[in-house]
Amino acid sequence: MQNKVSRRGFGKSLGAAAMLSASTTAGAASKRARAVGTPQPNYYQFPKNFLWGCATAAYQVEGAAREDGRGPSIWDTFSHTPGKTFENQTGDIADDQYHRYKQDVQLLKWLGAKIYRFSISWSRIFPEGTGKPNERGIEYYQRLSDELRANGIEPFATLFHWDLPQALQDRVGGWESRDTAKAFGEYAGYVASKLSDRVHHFFTMNEFSSFIDLGYAEGRFAPGLQLPPARLNQARHNAVLAHGLAVQAMRANAKAATKIGLAENLTSAVPVIEAEPHIQASNKATRFLNAQYLTVIMEGKYMDEYLHAQGANAPKFTPEDLKIISSPLDFLGINIYQPTYIRAADSPLGFVRVKEPSSFPHMLSNWLFIGPEVLYWGSRHVAEIWNVPEIYITENGCSSTDDLTPDGHVYDTDRIMFLRNYISKLHRAVSEGYPVRGYFLWSLLDNFEWADAYSRRFGLYYVDYETQKRYPKESAYWYRELISRNAVV
Ligand code: GBH
C-alpha cells in the first residue's frame, strides 16, 4: 500500500498548508483555512428567488374524458385504436386529476413547490376545435388556478400538449393545414381573455418534434401518420406558425402583465469533450438540429443550410409567416432529458453527432440516456445563441421501476441519483450566470406516458391506478428537502 497517511498525519499536513497561506496573505487567508468537510455556504445552493415546481399535461393526468362537454382529441382516438398503446391502455381516467385537483394541489404544497405547470385541453374549451367555446371547460382551469394560488403556488399553463381536437384532424387534416394554425390562435386568444387574470405565465406549445415528428412522420404518436417529407415539413411549418399566431392573439387579449413563452424539447447538444473545437461545434449543432422549430422561432428565418438540405421538400412560406413565427417572447422553456453528443468535424456543417454506444446507461425508458451535463449545456447554448433573457427548465425527470413495497414505500434511489446529478449541473449553469429562473420536475405523479401508457412511471408520487391512491416515493421526500434547503441534497 502506498500513500498510507494516518488521519492525524493528514490533518497535520493540511494545517501546514493553511499556515503557509496565512503567512503569505495574512489575515484574509487565515479565514479561508478550514477543516476538511466544512460545508460551504454556496455549495450547490440556488439563488434565493429560484423557483421549484412540477409539471404535468392534460391528457396524461386529467381523465374525465367525456365530461362537462369535452370533445374528443386525437389522443382519445389513438389510444382507443387497438395496438397503438401499451396493452391498449387509454387516458380515459388517468389520474382523475379533473376531480382530484384539490388533493393534487396539496401534494404540491407538501413538497413546497412554488410553481405548477399544467396543460389545457383544447377540446374541453372548443369541443369542435373552433366555434362556440364550452364555458364548463374553461371553468375547470379557473378553479384549478385559483386553488393553486390559494395555496401559494403560481400556475403556469401550456396551451397545447399534443391533444389536438379530433374535429380538426377530421375536418382539415390537423397540422397539415394552416386552418389548424388559425384555430389555435383563436383558442389561445380566448384562453388568454378568460385566464390571464389569474395565470401570468403561458407556454404556447409543448415539444414540436414530439407531436409532429412522432405523430405525422413516424406514426408512433397520435394521429399515427407517416407523411412523406414535403407534407411533413409543411406540417412543421404550420405548427410554428400556430405558435406565432397564438403569441399575437394572447398579446391582444391578455392582461398586460402576462408573460408568454413555449416549452420545447430541443435537441440538446453536448460537446463530447469540454474544450474547443467541440464547444463551438456543439453550439453550431444546436442551431442546425433545431432549424425547423426553435431556430426559426428565435431567428425569424429558416437556416439556408436547412432549406438547402430539404431541397424540393422545403416548406412553403411567406415573409409575413416568418414575422409571425418570430413574435417576441418573454422567456423560453426547455424540456431536457437526454444529451445529444457532438464532436467537431471537418465538414461543411462543422460537427457530427456521436451515437451512444450500446453500453451507454439509460433509465427505464430506453431512450432516456443519462447525461446530467445536458442541463448545463442546454441552458448555456440557448442563452448564448439567442440571448434569451429568462429560461425555465419546463421538464426534467425520469422513469424507474418504482416497486411499491407492501407497506406503501417506493425506494427509487435511481431517480434520486438521476435528479441529483442533473440538478447539480443546473446549479453550474445558474452559478455561471445563465438566466435559468425555475425548474419543473416531470412529473408530480405517475401518469399516462403516451404510447407507453401506464408501463412507465415518472412521478414523485406513485399512483395506484386501481384505487387512485397517491404514495410519496423516496424521491418526493428528497425533492421536498431540496426545496426547503434550496440546495442539492
Ligand atoms: C416529454 O417528452 C413529454 O413532454 C411528456 O409529456 C412526457 O411524459 C415526458 O417527456 C416523459 O417521456 O418511445 O422511443 O419513440 C420528452 C421527449 C419524445 C421522449 C418522444 C420520448 C419517444 C421515444 N420524448 N420520445 S420512443
395 is catalytic: yes
pLDDT at 31: 56
Asked if the structure places residue 26 within a domain, the reply is no
**Which residues span the domain enclosing 86?**
46-273+286-339+369-485
Asked if the structure places residue 40 within a domain, the reply is no
Q: What is the CATH number of the domain that holds 193?
A: 3.20.20.80
Asked if the structure places residue 5 within a domain, the reply is no
pLDDT at 33 > cutoff 80: no
Q: Is the CB of 337 under 6 A from ligand 1?
A: yes
What CA dihedral angle connects 303, 306, 308 and 312, to 10 degrees?
A: -120
Catalytic residue among 207, 264, 373, 449: 207
207 is catalytic: yes
Asked if the structure places residue 347 within a domain, the reply is no
pLDDT digits (tens, 9 = 90+) for 151-206: 999 999 999 999 999 999 999 999 999 999 999 999 999 999 999 999 999 999 99
pLDDT at 133: 98
Separation of CA 207 and ligand 1 centre (Å) = 9
The percentage of the chain sitting over the pLDDT mark of 90, rounded to a whole number, equals 91
pLDDT digits (tens, 9 = 90+) for 335-370: 999 999 999 999 999 999 999 999 999 999 999 999
Asked if the structure places residue 477 within a domain, the reply is yes
Number of compact structural domains in the chain: 1
Asked if the structure places residue 186 within a domain, the reply is yes
Q: Which of 426, 367, 443 is nearest to 391 (CA)?
A: 426
3-state secondary structure of 322: helix
Instruction: Answer whether 73's CB lies under 8 Å from 165's CB.
Output: yes
Asked if the structure places residue 330 within a domain, the reply is yes
Q: Is the CB of 85 under 6 A from ligand 1?
A: no
Hunting for cell 392534460 — which residue is that? 58
pLDDT digits (tens, 9 = 90+) for 37-59: 776 666 799 999 999 999 999 99
Separation of CA 69 and ligand 1 centre (Å) = 29
Asked if the structure places residue 267 within a domain, the reply is yes
CA dist., res. 446 & res. 460, Å (int): 7
CA dist., res. 321 & res. 305, Å (int): 19
Predicted confidence band at 28 (pLDDT cuts at 50, 70, 90)?
low
Q: Is the CB of 214 under 6 A from ligand 1?
A: yes
Query: C-alpha cell of 232?
Result: 411533413
